[in-house]
Amino acid sequence: MVNNVEIIARVFRQVKLYRIITLVAVVLFVIPWIAHYYLSSVERNSIRITHGAHSHLDLPEDFGSVKDMDLQARLEELLRIKGSVSSELRDMENKRQKLQSEIQMYTKNIELLKSELLHQQTELTRLKISVEQAQVAQREALQRNTPDLALPKRLKADSLPSILPVLPRNIARNCRMYTCFDHSRCSITSGFPVYLYDPDEFPVMHDGWDVDGFLKTTLKQVLGYNPHLTSNPKDACIYLVLVGEALKDSDEFNDQRGSINGPPIDSKALKRLPYWGGDGRNHVLLNLARRDLTSSLRDISSSIDTGRAIVVQSTFAYTSFRYGFDLIASPILGPPGGDVWQECPSIIPARRKYLISFQGEIKDVKKTITNPPNEKYQFFIDDYKELDRFIIDHLKEIEKGTTNDRFLFEFVCNPASDDSINTGNLDWGLCGTDSSRKSVLKDSTFTLIFAPRSAELASTTLLQARTYEALRAGAVPVILGGDQIKLAYDEVIQWKRICIFLPRARVTELHFLLRSIPESDIVAMRRQGRIVWERYLASVQSTVDTMIAILRERLNIPPLPVDTVPAVSVFNETFQPIQALINLESEPEESLGPLEPPYNSPSFRRNYSFLLTQGHEIWNDWGDPFRLYPTLPSDPILPSDAKFLGSGTGFRPIGRGQGGAGKEFSEALGGNNPREQFTILMLTYEREQVLLDSIARLRGLPYLNTVVVVWNSPKAPAQELRWPDIGVPVHVIKAARNSLNNRFLPLDNLQTEAILSVDDDAHLRHDEIMFGFRVWREHRDRIVGFPGRYHAWDLNTQNSWLYNSNYSCELSMVLTGAAFIHRHYLHLYWKWLPQAIRDKVDEYMNCEDIAMNFLVSHITRQPPVKVTSRWTFRCPGCPQSLSEDDTHFEERHKCINYFVQVFGYMPLLNTQYRADSILFKTRISHDKQKCFKFI
DSSP class of 265: B
DSSP class of 709: E
Kindly report the three-state secondary structure assignment for every residue of 598-626: CCCCCCCCCCHHHHHCCCCEEECCCCCEE
Residue 68 has a CB neighbour count (10 Å cut-off) of 12
Distance CA 478, CA 449 (A): 6
Nearest CA to 891 out of 838, 843, 830, 833 is that of 843
Nearest CA to 592 out of 667, 665, 661, 664 is that of 667
Asked if 682 and 758 touch (Cβ cutoff 8 Å), the reply is yes
Q: Residues 683, 687, 688, 690: is their CA dihedral positive or negative?
A: negative
DSSP class of 811: B
780-790 burial, b for 16+ CB within 10 Å, e for fewer? bbbbbbbbbbb
Nearest CA to 283 out of 167, 170, 374 is that of 167
Distance CA 484, CA 502 (A): 10
Residue 508 has a CB neighbour count (10 Å cut-off) of 12
Q: ∠ at Cα 101 (100, 104), nearest 5°?
A: 85
Nearest CA to 441 out of 331, 353, 532 is that of 353
Cα distance from N-terminal residue to C-terminal residue, the chain:
76
**Dihedrals phi, psi of 481, to nearest 5 degrees:** 85, 25
Asked if 811 and 726 touch (Cβ cutoff 8 Å), the reply is no
Q: Which run of H or E residues covers position 867? A: strand 865-867
**Dihedrals phi, psi of 785, to nearest 5 degrees:** -160, -160
Contacts of 774 (CB under 8 A, 6+ apart): 666, 669, 670
Could you tell me which residues are beta bridge partners of residue 462?
none
Half-sphere exposure of 751 (CA within 13 A, CB side): 15
659: left (phi over 0), alpha (psi -120 to 50) or beta: left
Q: Where are the beta strands (DSSP E) in 343-443?
A: 354-359, 369-370, 378-379, 407-410
Nearest CA to 859 out of 809, 810, 912, 822 is that of 822
Asked if 583 and 531 touch (Cβ cutoff 8 Å), the reply is no
DSSP class of 557: P
Distance CA 610, CA 608 (A): 5
Distance CA 895, CA 841 (A): 8
Q: How far is CA 556 from CA 158, 186, 192, 712, in A?
A: 21, 10, 10, 42
Instruction: Give the strand pairing for 784-785 and 818-822.
Output: antiparallel
Residues with a catalytic annotation lie at 849
Q: How far is CA 850 from CA 47, 519, 754, 811, 834, in A?
A: 98, 27, 20, 13, 14
Q: How far is CA 171 from CA 308, 468, 572, in A?
A: 9, 34, 65
3-state secondary structure of 580: strand
Distance of CA 115 to the CA centre of its chain: 41
